[in-house]
Structure 1
Amino acid sequence: MTDTPDLHPALQSGSLGSIDLGNRLTVAPMTRLSATPAGVPTELMADYYAEFASGGFGLVITEGIYPDAAYSQGYLNQPGLVTQEHVAGWRVVTDRVHAAGARIVAQLMHAGALSQGNPHRTETLAPSAVQPLGTMMRAYGGSGSWPLPREATSDDIAEVVEGFAAAARNAAEAGFDGIEVHAANGYLLDQFVTEYTNLRTDGYGSSTANRIRLTAEVVERLVAEAPEGFLVGVRISQTKVNDVVYRWSGGAEDVVVIAEALAKAGADYIHVASEGRSWFETARLEDGSTVTGLAREVSGLPVIANGGMHDRDQAERVLHDGHADFLSIGHVALANPDLPNRLAAGDELADFDPAMLRPSVTIESSNRWRRAG
């Protein structure tokens, strides 16, 4: 970290892989459901992402993008990176973000069993035929119980890896600076990692090393094919959109296995999500260490911490005490797209109002709230 007197550590410059960033502040991926029905990014999305760049964020990570026209799409009006129309739409977004001075990474997401709006398939796919906990999310366009998914075959698994690889190639063509593999929050890759959703007895089940195997294979494939200087990160979490209390049963031992596997696969960074909870609540391990700090130590990779990182004191502590190298900010960034500029000026932040995500989590819902204010 390059120190500058009297500058908050989150405003210090840093590097992810070969990419230099102006500060340690990152926009966390947030579902927006604002693409066309065919998954093409819109001008509204370009405005949305460019505003974060203009507001001073060094890195913007997109909402989850579906990587194939099979089982991956999770929601209606979710953007994709499958067709040339998708690529052209995202090129407008990346050009706008770059022109405003930030870098942008595409988060690739396979919803798996937590798909509640996929025009490409009438069934869902998962590591095992286990019905997800809870009910579909109304703010994301769903209702009622989750369907019982079909257990993935070896051919299905191979197609998942190929889908991620094809989407990563499209991301490079669309002008992204890299991709983030979404292996968090209860979606497909996380379903493989999670004990109660993965009942497999083959090489992708049973032990933690086997359950993280698919994520590692995806990362390894993308690293092998990535253009020079193209970031390949991965997002992990214990908590999920449909289970905010879940924790890895192996605690620190699981963190070590997972972090080592991702580092060996060649990931450029690890992003630890909190799913709407504070970093302190979700990252603290029984021995007093943290998931973020231990992952950083074991992997030797830069780590992005998430969960309440808009709090100036917590952000400073997380960076200074070695728990993480970068910070990602979600909902509070919606209310403060210029958060880094406000932090640099010493200005107060606007409070996040959940009404920004009602009746659904679209950009228009947030814009309507802002116009009303």
Structure 2
Amino acid sequence: MSTTHPALTPIRLGKHELSSRYAVAPMTRVSASPEGVPTADMADYYAEFAAGGFPLVITEGVYPDAAYSQGYLNQPGLARAEHVEAWRAVTGAVHAAGGVVIAQLMHAGALSQGNRYTSERIGPSAVQPRGEMMPEYGGSGPWPVPREMSAQDIEDVVDGFAAAAGNAVAAGFDGVEVHAANGYLLDQFITDYTNKRTDSYGGPMANRIRLTADVTRAIKAVVPREFVVGVRLSQTKVNDFTYRWPGGERDAETAYTALAAAGADYLHIASEGRNWLDTARLVSGRTLTSVAREVTGLPVIVNGGMHDVVLAERVLDEGHGDLLSIARAALANPDLPHRVAKGVELDRFDHGMLDPTVTLDNARRRRAGERG
């Protein structure tokens, strides 16, 4: 391993000069108020990562509209004036600690299991999602069958994402990430078995990616030129760890090319339930992340096991990606970049750290006590 780990080298993202390749991955915390208003604890939570050396912080999924998008109770929103005002304290805290902060905009679609605005779910088609709702986020039992979206519903979704991006600008964010991964609404359009439409949004990947491209294009039209707009994609989902795009490499190239043409500034290729090695390798030997870099020329964020310094070095040195997003290992080690720089061993993740009713400090102390 070289003296300076490649993850500790600087990189530019839009107008931002990042001191390293590390980013905090989006992690659902369901710790906002019942009205979706971010709290002071959330400001401290996000700022801790920036203070710990993460130059880029991507928030948990934030719902963009006061209609069908909310996925969980106590999920934060960017749909109302009180949301915008409260997020200013969060973005201000991250900036004061030296970080760049991006809001992930997430429409849950058929995978909504807690929405204060409506009990109805919408999706590309009236197809029941696989698996069951997640008890750690307040759900139980099978997913209900969503209502198939009309053309007006699709237009409303696009408008909602664009309005939320405008709210993100007003709240002081440096960018937004369009959540088109992990089984949520935009990914439901991308996934062939949840999208049975026969219009221009269904059928081949060129059509199934259309809504995500429309959303990206609409956001770019309303935000300042220097405002970063990324897109997160995955094959696997919170309710399906085994799914792969049926067209493999061809589908990947089609999707990535469409999003670059729509104006995306970066792509974030995520894993769910697997690490990067398990989900990224294609039959040809290429990886989903290297394909994204090659066909678009955009910066690519790689997710899945990137706290492993050996794997992270391979990803960067072999050209599989440009930045590394860290999720659970960041919860356990909010100062992970500093630890890597000093060669300090990382603390292990404790599942209690996902519980918003248990403070991270207490969970970390418990883990430290077990280690000692």
Provide the TM-score with structure 2 as the length reference.
Answer: 0.97
Q: Answer whether contact 1:193 1:211 (CA < 8 A) is retained.
A: yes
**Partner residue in 1 for 2:364:** 370
Q: Answer whether contact 1:48 1:363 (CA < 8 A) is retained.
A: no
Q: Answer whether contact 2:53 2:335 (CA < 8 A) is retained.
A: yes
Matched, 1:106 2:103: yes
In 1: Cα distance, 2:153 partner to 2:317 partner: 44
**Partner residue in 2 for 1:33:** 30
**Partner residue in 2 for 1:223:** 220
For residue 220 of structure 2, give the secondary structure of its aligned residue in structure 1.
helix
In 2: Cα distance, 1:354 partner to 1:370 partner: 10
Matched, 1:20 2:17: yes
**Partner residue in 2 for 1:297:** 294
- The residue type equivalent to 1:156 in the other structure is D
Q: Answer whether contact 1:112 1:187 (CA < 8 A) is retained.
A: yes
What 5-or-longer segments of structure 2 have no aligned partner?
none
Q: Answer whether contact 2:350 2:364 (CA < 8 A) is retained.
A: no
Once the two structures are TM-superposed, the CA of residue 365 in structure 1 deviates from its matched residue by: 5.0
For residue 358 of structure 2, give the secondary structure of its aligned residue in structure 1.
helix
In 1: Cα distance, 2:239 partner to 2:361 partner: 27
- The residue type equivalent to 2:98 in the other structure is G
Matched, 1:126 2:123: yes
In 1: Cα distance, 2:365 partner to 2:324 partner: 29
Matched, 1:268 2:262: no
Q: Answer whether contact 1:19 1:229 (CA < 8 A) is retained.
A: no
For residue 145 of structure 1, give the secondary structure of its aligned residue in structure 2.
coil
In 2: Cα distance, 1:124 partner to 1:268 partner: 30
Once the two structures are TM-superposed, the CA of residue 363 in structure 1 deviates from its matched residue by: 6.3
Q: Report matched runs for 1:141-290 at 5 Å.
A: 141-290=138-287
In 1: Cα distance, 2:167 partner to 2:4 partner: 38
- The residue type equivalent to 2:356 in the other structure is T
Once the two structures are TM-superposed, the CA of residue 18 in structure 1 deviates from its matched residue by: 2.1
The number of residue pairs the alignment matches comes to 366
Once the two structures are TM-superposed, the CA of residue 15 in structure 1 deviates from its matched residue by: 1.0
Any idea what the Cα deviations from partners look like across 1:53-94, whole Å, max 9, x if unmatched? 000001000000000000000000000001111111110000
Question: Which of 322, 346, 352 pairs up with 2:343?
Answer: 346
Provide the TM-score with structure 1 as the length reference.
Answer: 0.96
What 5-or-longer segments of structure 1 have no aligned partner?
none
Once the two structures are TM-superposed, the CA of residue 355 in structure 1 deviates from its matched residue by: 3.1
Once the two structures are TM-superposed, the CA of residue 364 in structure 1 deviates from its matched residue by: 3.2
In 2: Cα distance, 1:368 partner to 1:243 partner: 32
For residue 143 of structure 2, give the secondary structure of its aligned residue in structure 1.
coil
In 1: Cα distance, 2:360 partner to 2:145 partner: 33
Task: Provide the identity percentage.
Answer: 64
Any idea what the Cα deviations from partners look like across 1:133-178, whole Å, max 9, x if unmatched? 0100000110111111000000000000000011000000000000
Matched, 1:334 2:328: no
Any idea what the Cα deviations from partners look like across 1:309-350, whole Å, max 9, x if unmatched? 000011011001100000000001100000001011111100
Q: Which moved more, 1:70-79 or 1:276-285?
A: 276-285
- The residue type equivalent to 1:198 in the other structure is N
In 2: Cα distance, 1:363 partner to 1:82 partner: 25
Any idea what the Cα deviations from partners look like across 1:249-294, whole Å, max 9, x if unmatched? 1110011000100100010000000013110100000111000000
RMSD: 1.0
Any idea what the Cα deviations from partners look like across 1:88-143, whole Å, max 9, x if unmatched? 11100000000001100000000000000001111100000000001000001101
